[in-house]
A and B are shown apart, each in its own frame.
Chain A
């Protein structure tokens, strides 16, 4: 077992063990904190497919996160009020259906955004993904049907068969299960032929084209898959807070997702998880001391970018190996 595998295993075990300990000590708040970590890690793992493997610096993944969130919020609201949604279809409060809807909605949006954005590269790509996310953000703010600027409350957390999701521990296990599935998907994808082509496109686009693989299609598929995973995380996040608002779509959210990956380690399997752990604990620890914690977050981030490249996983497990 090499060092990275060990670090990954320890991070995952740590995330899984901590809530059990907190639950046993009667501290449900920490269970919620761990749930937040798991959900943010899932969202960032989605982004890691595009950013880490494909080198596509999407500065608009909040769009997919928020779309997932709004999918959950809108379906739950319609189910709660017993109003039909579109074409007489009812809403739903079943998490599994909501996840599927979130995946479909985020995937559709990513397909449209990707078709235009992926024609560009470099700085243009960064700014265009940002601009599209802003477009959806402003749409959510000015569209009054689902709360507009005030957001949308989910009165009862959505249901999952065989469990009471209002128990913090149950909801944590659901989120952690999805995170593990997401990580497994990321690992499979990275080691597949598709993943190899995607990473080759990041390293040298011309060579990839020279062996007969068009980078555009590979990237588009990766972008859509990436958005789908972030969309599911968004649906979970909405359920965690039982609230959706345009802030889930804001560009700060996009920045935060990138920050998670950088803090943890770009393109590394457990990078987003490590980043989410550091970020949420940092927010929690400093947020209790000073309301200006973001100032210190900025300073830490600046130091990480300038001096400590490779993030937490890079620090613990050394440079990435190319096997």
Chain B
């Protein structure tokens, strides 16, 4: 195991974590502000990926596809918020889980109906192809570095948006007292739609960026959704800071676990068994991490003080 390989794995973990953050930020924002658990967030991820792949295939431009993915996911988010989600804010979590589960079925089958069951492929834009050299002599794809940069930029943007702007002030106010902010003359309905669309757009962005790294297919959002849940549970539901920290933690644990555990087991077991055992344990690692964190802090690392 050499240093460049190790650095490469850390970068992979960061890239994965950043992608999770884009999902988790939307989820945690929606939960924090509206108190809603949204399983359909993975579908918005999928919508973003499909929109990007379809538009990129039609126009030949990844950048148009990226813009389309943001627009399509935000639009899909706004539409389901107005049609369905809005009726769920006052309901209990069971109803929210079921209604958004129903939305997943509708989105997944609807997408399969339109695009068929075969996966689509999305090419990395020419500007970002190629590899950058790492210290120690390794090579790393520029595209993945760009994904990390976008994630960091979004995290900074969200920090400014929530902490420094008027809209962010309203979002925070909505989080702590929705009646009061309504009484002060803020249209809470529009605010909620806006927050939901923002979360959806972030999910769509994540979907489009990941679409170039793997195949674009129905159901691609679900594993990511569940990992994003793990992230926000670890970070504390409602906390953007928690989501960022949780994402990086989960991304690194997952990637390094898959990379290191088989090597570790190889020290004590025959190679064939070590690979199987390492892979099996690595797939459980983040859940074990979550269980450990929750055993000591049942409300996550940065629980909102509600």
Binding site for B on A (CB under 8 A): 51, 57, 59, 116, 119-120, 122-124, 126-128, 130-132, 134-135, 138-139, 141-145, 251, 255, 258-259, 262, 266, 292-295, 297-299, 301-302, 305-306, 309
Report chain A residues within 8 Å CB of B106: 295, 298-299, 302
Measured CA separation A196–B254 after assembly (Å) = 43
Q: Is the CB of B105 within 8 A of A297?
A: yes
Which residues from B are CB-within-8-Å of A143? Answer: 276, 280
Roughly how many angstroms separate A292 CA and B116 CA in the complex, as a whole number? 11
> Cβ of B283 and Cβ of A132 under 8 Å apart?
no
The residue from B31, B87, B230, B280 contacting A306, defined by CB atoms under 8 A apart: B87
Q: CB of B290 within 8 A of chain A?
A: yes
Q: Which parts of B261-283 form the interface with A (CB within 8 Å)?
A: 276, 279-280, 282-283
Asked if B93 and A122 sit within 8 Å, CB to CB, the answer is yes
Which residues of the other chain, B, contact A297 by a CB distance below 8 angstroms? 102, 105
With contact pairs A128-B294, A130-B229 given, residues A302 and B97 touching in the complex (Cβ less than 8 Å): no
B37 within 8 Å of A by Cβ? Answer: yes
A124 and B233 contact, Cβ closer than 8 Å, known pairs A142-B280, A302-B102: yes
Using A141-B283, A258-B98, A305-B102 as known contacts, say yes or no to A120 and B294 having CB atoms under 8 A apart.
Answer: yes
- Residue B99 contacts which of A139, A145, A251, A306 (CB distance < 8 angstroms)? A306
Known: A57-B97, A119-B294. 16 other contacts (CB 8 A): A51-B94, A57-B93, A124-B299, A126-B93, A128-B294, A131-B287, A138-B283, A142-B279, A142-B280, A142-B282, A259-B98, A293-B109, A295-B113, A297-B105, A306-B84, A306-B87
Distance to closest chain B CB from A282 (angstroms): 12
With a CB–CB cut-off of 8 A, which chain B residues contact A142?
276, 279-280, 282-283
Which chain B residues lie closer than 8 Å to A59 at the CB level?
Answer: 97
Given contacts A143-B280, A292-B113, A305-B99, is CB(A131)–CB(B229) below 8 Å? yes
Per-position contact with A for B215-252: 1 when CB-CB < 8 Å, else 0?
00000001000100110110001000000000000000
**What does the 1/0 interface line of B87-122 toward A look like (CB < 8 Å)?**
100000111011101111110111011000000000
> Could you tell me if B37 and A123 are in contact, using CB atoms closer than 8 angstroms?
yes
Q: How far is the CB of A260 from chain B (nearest CB, A)?
A: 11
Number of interface residues of B (CB under 8 A): 43
Among candidates B31, B103, B284, residue contacting A123 with C-beta atoms closer than 8 Å: B31
Residues in chain B within 8 A of chain A (CB atoms): 31, 37, 84, 87, 93-95, 97-99, 101-106, 108-110, 112-113, 222, 226, 229-230, 232-233, 237, 276, 279-280, 282-284, 287-288, 290-291, 294-295, 298-300
Check B102 against A298 for contact (C-beta < 8 Å): yes
Q: In the docked arrangement, what's the CA distance between A251 and B229, Å?
A: 13
Q: How many angstroms between the C-alpha atoms of A142 and B300 in the bound complex? A: 28
Within 8 Å by CB of A127, from B94, B233, B298, lies B233
Return B17 CB to nearest CB of chain A, in Å: 17
- Counting from the closest, the 8 A-B pairs by CB-CB distance are A298-B105, A135-B287, A295-B109, A138-B283, A298-B106, A301-B102, A302-B102, A298-B102
Instruction: Quote the shortest CB–CB distance from B158 to chain A (angstroms).
Output: 21
Q: What are 12 A-to-B residue pairs whose CB atoms are below 8 Å? A: A120-B294, A124-B299, A127-B230, A131-B229, A132-B291, A138-B283, A142-B282, A266-B94, A292-B109, A298-B102, A302-B106, A306-B84
